[in-house]
Structure 1
Amino acid sequence: MDITKRFDRLLGIYFYLQSKPLVKAQDLADKYEVSLRTIYRDIKSLEQAGIPISGEAGYGYSLMNTYKIQPMNFTEQEALSFGVAEKLMQHYLDKEMGTHFSNALVKMKSVLRFSDKENVADLESKVLINKQKNFLNENVPAALAMLFESMVKKKQIHLTYKSVESNLQERNIEVVGVYQEGQFWYFLAYCHLRKEVRQFRLDRIEHIRLTDLRYTQSLKPLHEYLEEQKKAEVIISVRILVKKSIARYLHWERQYYGFVREVEKGDSVEMHFQTSNLEHFARWFLMFSDESIILEPEELKLKVKSVLEGALKNLK
């Protein structure tokens, strides 16, 4: 047995327990890539070392809330991650959440060794991430922060929301969870107007405020709703043949259209996709259709033909 590796894992488990109110053994097993039996032995070892752990197998573990020790110094690699993390969060979070994160990071940087502070400052000047237009809602800079606050306080949010048809609608919602996919932030919420859980996009919020109304629904975890949505989708297999000279340009976007795999066929590449929206796929395909062939399905050919006929009509 690698004693050093086990010691590092025991120490990691301790700090993981200190960072969360409740930790499941399976989560620890997944994190450290070991068996559940190994985690049970590790927990027992920590208890024998005098660390007050409550809970049991099958439920979860937690530390007594009054038990704390001073944090260890950050390693050089951990310290350097702060510089990159701040740049990323400035890109992925809206203005208010970004400010909160930056303030928290300043406090964490304050405990770094002087040499690590110099390295982090030097790295920050060498990392640039360009914020994409419409990725966040710049007109409502506190939107993301308010969604998080709503979930923590279990209080409803009042939205003025722009639909796909650009109609403004007011509605009260109970937020299930927030997730980022492709070019946008999305959130699922129970909508009191529609009486069901609906998907919303952050950049379509026109106005948002936290109300004093409590949640009324028993909401499931976010991942369960997303899994249900995925199961309900009608998935269509697509195969296209793309010239190698143009295929390399598809790498940047193809994952957003359900890319599965590719196979070289002479001077071309056969690409396989799984999509639930042929209309969406057809319009993307048109960008390189002069160098590509649709192998299947026939319905996709009809979609592309329909879009082209509409375009030609408009040109006339």
Structure 2
Amino acid sequence: MLYLTLRHYEYICAVARHGSLSAAAEAVHVSQPALSAALSRIEDHLGHPLFLRRRGAALALTPQGRLFAEKAQALLEQAAQLEDPKGAGAGQQQLVLACFADLAPFLLAPALKALREALPDVEISHRACGFEPLIAALTGGEADLAITYDLGLDAGFSRAELGRYVPHALVPPEHPLAKRSGITLEELTQYPLVLSQEGMSLQHMLGLFKTHGLVPRIAHRADSLELLRSLAANGEGVGISYSLPPGGMSYDGKPLRAVPVTDPAASEPVILAAHAQLPGASPAFQAHEILRNVLSAGGSDLAQADHHVD
């Protein structure tokens, strides 16, 4: 369900003021496709159109839209006054960073720290979520950038690769695979597996086996990364995960060994996703360059640690 935020009200007021999506998008520092998608979602949520769309003509407010825009503008002004009674914060810029949930413990905090240091005048918020909510947030203009695996995104998004990671087979120390230096997907079909229940993660992993004409034996589908690791550590099956927390222990204190999957096709890029055309003066454009430098391979020690897709 969509919950309207001050950012949504800002979108409506910008379109009402400028009369065109392109000018409004530039004013609020988002891409035109993101603004258009957000506007449609807002109107769907409200149950009635706010603007009349006529070919070759500027967007015109409907009667309901005019009333809504007036109240939205008053709300924005009131919010600015509450945040800064002297009015200094009235024009503060905003940025929303989304991150795939399994990557968030490794990458989100360093990303936020870098952004807050480099962009002190920008209000930065974040969300950590699964693939489908993440893609919906990007598409609907509710998130400006996303750190994620390249799964489920269409051609309307740009992709800056931050690194490539491989899945690992997770087993207890006494397991026959524990001392192996690598394992193939074909070899993994000999063992019961523990996979993620997350929709696109599961589809991705099953697709890897299918591409090689293989049928895996699935013992469990885990609702979380830590449950997957715990099931593997307790001998319930070989866990398969790209996310590889340091320490070699499951959440319940059992030791784990991680054996990399050696099939070249199994590697998966971690990307910084954004709308294809970010306005050059926008906080999102600046943040994109900052995060590429901080998180990409060679940009910091983060890239050398084991951040690996669940």
TM range (shorter): under 0.3
Whose radius of gyration is greater, 1 or 2? 1
Query: Which structure shows the higher helix fraction?
Result: 1
Structure-1-length-normalised TM-score: 0.27
TM-score by length of 2: 0.27
- Select the structure with the greater relative contact order (CA < 8 A; seq sep ≥ 6): 2
